[in-house]
């Protein structure tokens, strides 16, 4: 990552784009702007971007589609910005592959904190567990930052990877959503459990044989999740 | 605060529709049954009496002729004459011969039991007939004068048989009447139930609508009397649903329209605040003003959006069993120095309640902010176990809430008069009440031991399966 992290900001509202660009520049980021999803994807392909910030309600291509397209080729951290607080929008964006979300009106300091946390997650070398771990046909290699399924590498986002490591580090132990939010996302206060749910859902789709009947990452109703050896 | 809409005072209690219908039917049945019975009885009585009297007259005249033939002979033995007369156990022939009474049997006291008016008219030479009651037994007495023989013939007919027959008839008619009245009441009860049954469906559908099930409708009916009512009810439900849909869409659009400029405002102000030192002093004050007002405005907008979402009934209630103490501590951690003020009772430590995490957090944040804004800060937050509930108590150091305002305070934009001035004409507590209601809990305000306000939230304990 370059010394000045690059943030691609896809947002159709010019005023918001300008105001937040200035703010983020103050915070020490380089901001690339795009007013439409199509334009954003073009810029994403041309430049090396450290983090993508996407508004969901975009003219033309919808934010969901932008997230899905980027996620198809890249594991870059993606934050969605939405004016809709409905589950439909937030869960939809997370399921498309976003790492986190923030709702409008955006509190700039909070946005900065989220971006910092996402970047930290993306670059921090995972130290634990020190040695690799094998669960069934899944092999986790923390030092290499990779996960193999039947010997083939599985592409996980940093958030998904960290979530898997966290669960694997405490096998058989139930981890509540709050604990996972704190350890994986670094949020202590008022995190949204749906972040965890959608990431577990995505993780299952990648590592489980049958995501609708998980054998590895199981839900403990009302308590959280645990990894079965 | 239970969300009970203001109900108009009920009119004084009176009999229900069904009871009234039953009583009316029973009354009609009574009038008809009693009238018919009385008429039947009276007609039967007259008819039977006439019949009996005419038979008695014929027999008395026959016997009088026979007696005359017996008395006209030279040697008269009145007893023999009497023995020769036709008589049954229920009749008693009496011959008065030359002033002397000769009854055949003696259970009818002669002449004491004979009515004097009858005797005097027979003495005058007429035939006469009269009803008389001796003891409990009715009789009819027929007298025939036999003037050429200086004799009179009387015959007494007992009507006891007839009286028994009439009594049996009366009993039968009375039983019949009672049965009719009861049947009438039953028919009233049944018929009114039939009539009221559709109303029950109206009520349950209205209840479902009120409970947020906006698609609830009454099934179409082929009954021509009910169809227009059902149609208009369903029409009303339809337009209600449409309107709520429109409101929800409007809320969603307005949400976007309001949130976007607020984002710009907030970011711009933060940018300026970061460069405050470079600004002339006269510009710094308005910037501070701007910042505080934008924050206030933002909270207002968010609260308004939230409450309009609640009103529109959008957004699901995601109840799951969670440890209340844990959620409370997490929320408290978000405010500097607040976590130390959280007390958890031993028996409440692991108590789980069925709550929606985000709503419950929202409730606690609002109560804490309310305490900070109007109550001079939180004094303690206590998590307790109650009967079937987990309770979170938030005490503040303010002047408290006077009893008359303890319900009002949860209403929208209620601004408590005493000591609760300042910014934030409250939607916060109204939101608290709404969220708590959706989680099937309750919230109220009391007085804390230190005299401040004590807000108590109760949510139902989760039953572990």
**Chains A & B: contacts with CB separation below 8 Å:** 87
The 3-state DSSP class for residue B99 equals coil
Element of type H or E holding B94 = strand B91-97
Residues of A in contact with B316 (CB under 8 A): 87
Inspect the interface and report whether the beta carbons of A105 and B256 lie closer than 8 Å. no
Are residues B225 and B194 in contact, defined by beta-carbon separation less than 8 angstroms?
no
Looking at the complex, does the CB of residue A36 fall below 8 Å from at least one CB of chain B? no
Sign of CA dihedral A163, A164, A170, A173: positive
Instruction: Write the residue in A104, A108, A188 that is nearest to B260 by C-beta.
Output: A104
Distance CA B185, CA B423 (A): 66
Q: Tens digit of pLDDT per residue, chain B (465 long)?
A: 444 445 566 666 777 888 888 889 899 999 999 999 999 999 999 999 999 999 999 988 988 888 888 888 777 778 888 887 877 778 888 888 888 888 877 667 777 778 888 888 888 888 888 888 888 888 899 999 888 888 888 888 888 888 999 999 999 999 999 999 999 899 988 988 888 887 888 888 888 888 878 888 888 878 888 888 888 999 999 998 888 888 777 777 787 788 888 999 999 999 999 888 898 888 888 899 898 888 888 888 888 888 877 877 666 777 888 888 888 988 888 888 888 889 888 888 888 888 888 889 889 999 998 888 888 889 899 999 888 899 999 998 888 888 888 888 888 776 654 444 444 457 888 889 989 998 899 999 998 888 888 999 999 988 765
What is the spatial distance between Cα B28 and Cα B20, in angstroms, rounded to a whole number?
A: 12
Secondary structure class of A176 (helix, strand, coil): coil
Q: How far is the alpha carbon of B405 from chain A, nearest alpha carbon, in Å?
A: 31
Cis peptide before A129 (omega within 30 of 0): yes
Per-residue tokens: B276: 């405050």
Q: What is the DSSP letter of A79?
A: E
Q: In terms of CA atoms, which chain A residue is nearest residue B306?
A: A85
A65 close to A92: Cβ distance less than 8 angstroms:
no
Closest-approach residue (CA) in chain B for A88:
B315
Chain A, 125-154: which have a CB under 8 Å from a chain B CB? none
**Whether complex ipTM tops 0.90:** no
| CA dist., res. B242 & res. A228, Å (int) | 49
Half-sphere exposure of B264 (CA within 13 A, CB side): 13
Query: How far apart (Å, rounded) are the C-alpha atoms in residues B283 and B281?
Result: 5
Q: How many helices (H) and strands (E) does chain B have?
A: 9, 12
Task: For residue A126, give how far its alpha carbon lies from the nearest alpha carbon of chain B (Å).
Answer: 26
Residues of A in contact with B262 (CB under 8 A): 104-105
**Residue A28 in contact with residue A12, Cβ under 8 Å?**
no
Tell me how far apart the alpha carbons of residues A193 and B320 are, in angstroms, rounded to a whole number. Answer: 12
Residue with tokens 């009088």: B64
Using the 8-state DSSP alphabet, how is residue B463 labeled?
Answer: P
Task: Enumerate the residues of chain B whose CB falls inside 8 A of the CB of residue A102.
Answer: none
Residue B398 half-sphere exposure toward CB, CA atoms < 13 A: 27
How far is C-alpha B158 from the chain's CA centre? Answer: 59
Number of H helices, E strands in chain A: 8, 11
> Which chain A residues are within 8 Å of B322, Cβ to Cβ?
222
Nearest to A192 among B252, B358, B365 (CB): B358
Closest chain B C-alpha to A3 CA, distance in angstroms? 23
CA pair distance B283, B84, nearest whole angstrom: 147
């Amino acid at each position: 990552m370059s010394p000045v992290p690059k943030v691609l900001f896809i947002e159709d509202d010019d005023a918001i784009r300008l105001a937040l660009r200035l703010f983020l520049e103050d915070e020490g980021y380089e901001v690339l702007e795009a007013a439409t999803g199509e334009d954003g994807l073009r810029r994403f392909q041309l430049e090396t971007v450290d983090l993508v910030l996407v508004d969901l309600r975009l003219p033309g291509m919808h934010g969901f589609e932008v997230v899905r397209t980027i996620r198809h080729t890249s594991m870059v951290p993606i934050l969605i910005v939405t004016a809709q607080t409905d589950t439909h929008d937030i869960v939809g964006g997370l399921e498309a592959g976003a790492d986190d979300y923030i709702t409008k009106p955006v509190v700039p300091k909070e946005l900065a904190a989220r971006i910092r946390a996402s970047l930290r997650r993306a670059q921090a070398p995972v130290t634990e567990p020190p040695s690799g771990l094998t669960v069934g046909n899944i092999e986790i290699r923390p030092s290499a930052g990779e996960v193999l399924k039947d010997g083939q590498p599985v592409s996980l986002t940093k958030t998904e990877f960290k979530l898997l490591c966290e669960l694997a580090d405490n096998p058989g132990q139930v981890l509540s959503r709050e604990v996972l939010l704190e350890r994986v996302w670094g949020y202590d206060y008022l995190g949204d459990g749906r972040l965890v749910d959608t990431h577990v859902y995505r993780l299952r789709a990648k590592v489980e044989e049958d995501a609708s009947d998980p054998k590895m990452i199981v839900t403990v109703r009302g308590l959280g999740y645990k990894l079965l050896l | 605060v239970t969300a009970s809409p203001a109900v108009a005072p009920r009119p004084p209690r009176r009999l229900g529709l069904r009871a009234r219908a039953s009583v009316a039917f029973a009354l009609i049945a009574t009038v008809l049954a009693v009238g018919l019975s009385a008429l039947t009885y009276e007609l039967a009585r007259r008819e039977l009496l006439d019949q009996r009297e005419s038979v008695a007259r014929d027999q008395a005249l026959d016997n009088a002729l026979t007696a005359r033939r017996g008395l006209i002979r030279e040697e008269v033995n009145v007893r023999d004459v009497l023995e020769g007369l036709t008589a049954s156990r229920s009749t008693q022939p009496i011959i008065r011969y030359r002033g002397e009474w000769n009854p055949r049997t003696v259970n009818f006291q002669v002449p004491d039991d004979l009515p004097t008016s009858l005797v005097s008219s027979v003495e005058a030479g007429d035939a006469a007939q009269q009803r008389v009651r001796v003891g409990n037994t009715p009789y009819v007495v027929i007298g025939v004068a036999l003037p050429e023989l200086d004799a009179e013939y009387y015959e007494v007919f007992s009507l006891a048989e007839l009286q028994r027959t009439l009594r049996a008839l009366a009993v039968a008619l009375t039983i019949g009447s009672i049965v009719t009245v009861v049947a009438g009441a039953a028919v009233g009860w049944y018929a009114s139930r039939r009539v009221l049954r559709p109303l029950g469906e109206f009520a349950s559908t209205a209840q479902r609508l009120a409970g947020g099930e906006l698609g609830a409708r009454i099934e179409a009916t082929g009954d021509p009397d009910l169809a227009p009512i059902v149609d208009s009810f369903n029409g009303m439900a339809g337009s209600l649903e449409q309107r709520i849909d429109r409101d929800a869409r409007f809320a969603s659009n307005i949400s976007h329209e309001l949130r976007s400029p607020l984002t710009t405002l907030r970011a711009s102000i933060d940018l300026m605040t970061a460069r405050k030192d470079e600004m002339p002093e006269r510009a710094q004050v308005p910037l501070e003003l701007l910042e505080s007002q934008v924050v206030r405005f933002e909270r207002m907008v968010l609260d308004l959006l939230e409450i309009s979402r609640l009103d529109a009934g959008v957004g699901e209630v995601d109840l799951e069993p969670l440890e209340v103490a844990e959620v409370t501590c997490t929320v408290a951690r978000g405010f500097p120095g607040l976590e130390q003020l959280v007390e958890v009772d031993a028996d409440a430590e692991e108590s789980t309640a069925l709550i929606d995490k985000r709503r419950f957090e929202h409730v606690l944040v609002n109560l804490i902010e309310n305490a900070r804004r109007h109550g001079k800060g939180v004094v303690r937050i206590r998590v307790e176990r109650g009967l079937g509930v987990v309770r979170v108590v938030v005490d503040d150091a303010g002047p408290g809430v006077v009893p008359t305002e303890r319900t009002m305070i949860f209403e929208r934009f209620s601004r408590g008069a005493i000591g609760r001035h300042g910014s934030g004409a409250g939607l916060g507590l109204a939101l608290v009440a709404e969220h708590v209601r959706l989680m099937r809990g309750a919230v109220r305000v009391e007085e804390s031991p230190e005299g401040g306000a004590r807000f108590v939230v109760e949510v139902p304990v989760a039953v572990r399966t």
